[in-house]
Amino acid sequence: MTDTGTATPADALPGTASGADWLARYNGALLGVFGTPQRVLVRGSGCTVWDADGNEYLDLLAGIAVNALGHAHPFVTSVVSAQLATLGHISNFFTSPTQVALAEKLLELSEAPAGSRVFFTNSGAEALEAAVKLARRNSTPERHRILALDGAFHGRTMGALALTSKTAYRAPFEPLPGGVEHIPFDDVDALRAAMDDSVAALVLEPIQGEAGVRPLSPEYLRAARELTREHGALLILDEVQSGIARTGRWFAHQWVDGVVPDAMTLAKGLGGGFPVGALVTFGEDVSALLSAGQHGTTFGGNPVATAAGLATLHTLESSGALQHVADVGAFFREHLAAVQGVTAVRGAGLLIGFDLDGEYAPAAVQAALAAGFIINATGPGTIRLAPPLILTREQAASFLDALPSILTTAREALS
C-alpha cells in the first residue's frame, strides 16, 4: 500500500481476483441481507460500468436513482477530492460554507417560503426518520395518527419502516412504532374518509418507485394539500427517489401547480453518488417544530457530502438537465410502449416503470445483464429504469433495440 497522493482504490485492496472469487469472499464476509450480488463492479464512467471480469454494462439503474451524473463525473470528483483534501469532517458542533450554501440552494430550488429550513442526513431513510419526528412534534393526545399509502416504501429503519406498507419488510420487525395507518393509493374518497383533526401528518411519495413507478394523480396531490391544510396535518412528501431533477423538474410535486408541502425528504441523486440526504421544512411554523436538541446527526451535512451536493446541483443546473431529462424520458417511454411484450409504461422524466405480459421480470433482469444492460425488477411483471440523468437518446435507443431479444430470452428461461 502506498501513502502518496496518487494512490488508487487498488492500493488499498489485498490482492486481485475474478468476479467469482470476489463473490465467494463476499458470501463469507458480509451479512446476507442482500442475497448474492449480481456482479462485482470495479469501474464506471458516465453511464457505463465494468465488472471484475472486464464485462461492460450500460447502467440504466444508476445505483437506484443515485448517480444523477453517472459514474466518475469529473467535476463532482474534483470538488469532492478537493474538499476532502481541505476539510473532511467537523461534527455539527461546527458548520462549513458548503453546508450553508447547499441548504440555501435547496431552499431556492424548492421555492420554499421565508422561514424554511434544511436538516442534512446521510440517507433517505434518515431523512424519513427526521420527518417522523417532525410529525410527532405536530401531535397532541387528540392528534396522533400518521397516514401513509398502500404500496409505499419509505425505508427500512424503524420509523421509516412503519411508513412502509410491504408486509414482507414489516412483519419480521413488528411491533413497529405505532400510529401509522395505510390507506388506498391514489383514492381521493378514501383519503377524505380517513382525514380528520386526529391526523398529525400525511406522508406521500409523488411517484412510488419501489411499487413499480406509480405516480399519484394531480387530483390526489391537490386533495392531499387541501385536506391536510384544512385539518391541521402536515403534508410530507418523500422525494428521495423522485427529487433532484429525476422527473424533469427539480422535485416531482412541482409538476402540479399549487402543491407546496410542509416538509420534503431528499437523498439519492442529491450527492451524485456520495451519501447525503435532507429534510426540508417549509415555513417558519413547521421549521419551529424541531428545536435545538430534539434531533441530530454526527456525519450529516459534513463538508464533503455537502460539497458533493453543491457540485451535483451546479452541474445539473448549468447543463440544462431538466429539459434533457424530460426529452430523453419522453423518447424512452414512447418507444417502450411499442415493444412487443410491454403492456404498460409509467413515470416521468427518467424514472420509468413498465409492465410485461407475464411474470418474468426477474428473468428479464438476468437476460439484460447478459446483454450488457443493468435494469431492475420491482415485482414479478414490472421493470424499473432510473438511469443517470445524462443518459443520451442514443444510449436509450441501444436498450430499446436490445429489449425484444432480452424479453424473448427471459420468456424462454421460464418455459
Q: Is the pLDDT of residue 339 over 70?
A: yes
What mean pLDDT comes out for the span 136-164?
97
Q: Is the pLDDT of residue 12 over 90?
A: no
Query: For every residue of the chain, which 3-state class applies, written as one string?
Result: CCCCCCCCHHHHCCCCCCHHHHHHHHHHHCCHHHCCCCCCEEEEEECEEEECCCCEEEECCHHHHCCCCCECCHHHHHHHHHHHHHCCCCCCCCCCHHHHHHHHHHHHHCCCCCCCEEEEECCHHHHHHHHHHHHHHCCCCCCCEEEEECCCCCCCCHHHHHHCCCHHHHHHHCCCCCCEEEECCCCHHHHHHHCCCCEEEEEECCEECCCCCEECCHHHHHHHHHHHHHHCCEEEEECCCCCCCCCCCCCHHHHCCCCCCCEEEECHHHHCCCCCEEEEECCHHHHCCCCCCCCCCCCCCCHHHHHHHHHHHHHHHHCCHHHHHHHHHHHHHHHHCCCCCEEEEEEECCEEEEEECCCCHHHHHHHHHHHCEECEEEECCEEEECCCCCCCHHHHHHHHHHHHHHHHHHHHHHC
84-104 confidence digits (pLDDT tens) = 999 999 999 999 999 999 999
pLDDT for the residue 3 = 55
Are 220 and 188 in contact by the 8 Å Cβ rule? The answer is yes
pLDDT for the residue 13 = 78
Q: Which grid coordinates belong to 197? A: 383533526
What mean pLDDT comes out for the span 316-328?
98
Q: Which grid coordinates belong to 118? A: 434544511
pLDDT for the residue 1 = 44
Q: Is the pLDDT of residue 10 over 90?
A: no
**Residues of the chain with pLDDT > 90: what percent?**
95
Residue 178's pLDDT band (cuts 50, 70, 90)? confident
**Dihedral angle, C-alpha 268, 410, 25, 51, nearest 10 °:** -60
In 3D, which of 349, 388, 97 has the Cα closest to residue 206? 349
How far from each other are the two terminal CA atoms of the chain, in whole angstroms?
50
Residue 362's pLDDT band (cuts 50, 70, 90)? very high
Q: Could you tell me the maximum CA-CA distance found in the chain, to the nearest angstrom?
A: 65
pLDDT for the residue 36 = 93
What mean pLDDT comes out for the span 247-264?
98
pLDDT for the residue 269 = 98
- What is the amino acid identity at position 89? H
Q: Is the pLDDT of residue 14 over 90?
A: no
395-412 confidence digits (pLDDT tens) = 999 999 999 999 999 999
Q: What is the pTM of this model?
A: 0.96
Residue 11's pLDDT band (cuts 50, 70, 90)? confident
- Taking only Cα atoms into account, the Rg of the chain, rounded to an integer number of angstroms, comes to 22
What mean pLDDT comes out for the span 104-114?
98
Are 399 and 85 in contact by the 8 Å Cβ rule? The answer is no
Are 372 and 59 in contact by the 8 Å Cβ rule? The answer is no
Residue 4's pLDDT band (cuts 50, 70, 90)? low
